[in-house]
Amino acid sequence: MRSDRTKVGIDRAPARALMYGTGMPESSMGRAHIGICSSFTDLIPGHVGMRDLERYIEKGVHTGGGHSSIFCVPGICDGIAMGHIGMHYSLPSRDAIADMIECVVEAHALDGVVFLTNCDKITPGMLMAAARLNIPSIVVTAGPMATGSYRMQKRSFIKDTFENMAKCRTGEISEDEMKNIEQCACPGQGACQGLFTANTMACLTEAMGMSLPGCGMALAGSGKKRRIAFDSGVAICELVEKDIKARDILNENAFRNAVMLDMALGGSTNTALHLPAIAYEAKVPFTLDLFDEYSKNTPHITSINPGGEFFMEDVDAAGGIPAFQYRLRDRLFDNPTVCGRTIKEIANSAIVYDDDIVRPLDNPYHKEGGIAVLRGNIAQGGAVVKQSAVNADMLQFTGTAVCFDSEEAAMDAIKNRQIVNGQVVVIRYEGPKGGPGMREMLAPTAEIMGQGLNKVALITDGRFSGGTRGPCIGHISPEAAEGGDIGLICDGDKIVIDIPGRTINLDVPAEELEKRRAAWVKPAPKITKGYLAKYASRVSNAAQGAICRVEDL
């Protein structure tokens, strides 16, 4: 066992003494040493219930014959960090989490790890660490939040808070009404109720085979989730005994299956950052083109909030991820999973309990998958849009540019009613390097939707939440801070968006662009100290997953 390097032989007497100091019994010296990497924190509703799940994982590890030890990593809630300097830290925290896990697991020579996670950047950070370390690993996502209720209507975080801000500002709803709604929108523990980034990544983790069947959608706080946590503790011991490592599962087939499920679900555009980052650590080739390859031939077969009508609890009741695997069973690549059954075995044994929530492939909500990759003179390296959340009449759009060099400047203009239908809001210098940290633009998009501006597009070298809906195109690469042409757009320019044609172009003569490019001056960094400055100096562009690559050092 890996842990033998800390506990076997006379030279390890000091290490054993320290382990005994933790209360470890002598009988556990011969057991597999299993880490429970928990992201428990009181700061995030998706994580407040993890103390309970830690107990159930511990029970499972003990039942499976191992000895478990909990260690923790931090978590950031995008919804709380949004709209101020805090959001600069969200995406960079993903790489910090992976680094911290590497430090602990290697220093303590753990034999295997159960990763207890839930929210946006924490799940991919843990998967990056699992792939990098390549030891037996299993992921337990803590689960979606139940929907709220107010005045006999289902309520959810995005649509009932962000989009209602504009209505409150205009007097459409009162401040008292807003207060009542915000106290009901998030009724308890769990990740936000729709198919936002946290729940999308939970679903794709299961689709890749790194979580037990049913884990991705099982509600937070439920008995089902506790049972999955217990069973995951047992399973990690079996994975250690059989020496099944993370990369045995996280191979090319796993990533293809994940992208296919993502298209069928209509998941968050942030997967276009996270899957390439995990694939990099797993040493699996991965480009944005994979999203478009599957988007063009994988139908979108459900309708999940925020772009649709169903919530995670509805989709879980309809059969969860196995139900989608059943629909896609003839297309999926067979592959091992942490439960011991293969992807095909899980898919073939699944049951679909509702043919409208999880539709057959020949009766989809949309013929194409949820995400489209656009290219053009604005985005030579690519850009992404959640096309399943765009109204049909906005899939092709030509508008007049109105440009902002920060999210704050754009938000001020939107709140002050300076944006009108027919415009394309351009928010730049918010990419991985320029932000730094590639901030999420949910607040501006929600404000636009809340004002009823249904003929406005928004493009950015920043990113969007899974909660964004409408013609919002992000991850534009190369970003403005590295000389990308999004930095050359001027107010009044025409921007032509063709989502079905997969293009986004600035309608300006090439010679004019060359003049602007020659006159462009790289701006000074927005942040010059601490972790963000180090991150900005190392991070790759969005098309590569906004990762800190070893080969770039």
CATH assignment of the domain containing 193: 3.40.50.2300
> What whole-number distance in Å separates Cα of residue 124 and Cα of residue 110?
20
| Domain closes at, from 302, 318, 349 | 349
Kindly state whether residue 355 falls inside one of the protein's structural domains: no
Kindly state whether residue 553 falls inside one of the protein's structural domains: no
Clarify whether residues 286 and 414 are in a common domain: no
Clarify whether residues 320 and 404 are in a common domain: no
Clarify whether residues 202 and 309 are in a common domain: yes
DSSP string for residues in 329-396:
TTTSPP---TTSS-HHHHHHH---S-TTTS--TTS-SBSS-SEEEEBSSS-TTEEEEEGGGS-GGGSE
Boundaries of domain holding 385: 372-544
Angle made by CA atoms 340, 59, 325, in degrees to the nearest 5: 30
Q: Which of 369, 267, 264 is nearest to 325 (CA)?
A: 264
Q: What is the SS3 string spanning 199-231?
A: HHHHHHHHHCCCCCCCCCCCCCCCHHHHHHHHH
Clarify whether residues 3 and 128 are in a common domain: no
The predicted structure's pLDDT at residue 524: 92
pLDDT in tens, 448-506: 888 889 999 999 999 987 667 789 999 999 999 999 999 999 999 999 999 999 999 99
Kindly state whether residue 76 falls inside one of the protein's structural domains: yes
Clarify whether residues 394 and 509 are in a common domain: yes
pLDDT in tens, 60-89: 999 999 999 999 999 999 989 988 899 999
Residue partners of 33: CB distance under 8 A and separation at least 6: 1, 3, 6, 7, 66, 67, 69, 108, 109, 110, 111
Binding site residue list for Mg(2+): 78, 120-121, 440
The predicted structure's pLDDT at residue 427: 97
| Domain closes at, from 349, 381, 401 | 349
The predicted structure's pLDDT at residue 467: 66
- How does 202-229 read in b/e, with b if 16+ C-beta sit within 10 Å? bbbbbbbbbbbbbbbbbbbbbebbbebb
* Contact call for residues 440 and 421 (beta carbons, < 8 A): no
Number of domains composing the chain:
4
Which 8-state DSSP code applies to residue 433?
Answer: T
Clarify whether residues 398 and 413 are in a common domain: yes
The pair phi, psi for residue 293, each rounded to 5°, is -55, -45
Clarify whether residues 228 and 124 are in a common domain: yes
> What whole-number distance in Å separates Cα of residue 78 and Cα of residue 89?
9
Clarify whether residues 246 and 196 are in a common domain: yes
For the chain, which ranges sit under pLDDT 70? 466-467, 553
* Contact call for residues 248 and 283 (beta carbons, < 8 A): no
Active site residue 465: yes
The pair phi, psi for residue 255, each rounded to 5°, is -70, -35
Clarify whether residues 231 and 318 are in a common domain: yes
Kindly state whether residue 354 falls inside one of the protein's structural domains: no
Cross-strand pairs, 144: 191
Kindly state whether residue 367 falls inside one of the protein's structural domains: no
Kindly state whether residue 366 falls inside one of the protein's structural domains: no
Kindly state whether residue 550 falls inside one of the protein's structural domains: no
Cβ-in-10-Å burial (0-12, 13-18, 19+) of 552 comes to exposed
pTM reported for the whole predicted model: 0.94
Q: Which of 383, 370, 470, 388 is nearest to 424 (CA)?
A: 470
Clarify whether residues 233 and 263 are in a common domain: yes
Clarify whether residues 206 and 298 are in a common domain: yes
Considering 156, 295, 303, 465, which one is annotated as catalytic?
Answer: 465
Kindly state whether residue 360 falls inside one of the protein's structural domains: no
Strand pairing category for 32-38 and 112-117: parallel
DSSP string for residues in 451-490:
TT-TT-EEEESSB--TT--SSEEEEEES-GGGT-GGGG--
Clarify whether residues 295 and 166 are in a common domain: no
| Domain closes at, from 349, 383, 413 | 349
Q: Which CATH number does the domain housing residue 532 bear? A: 3.50.30.80
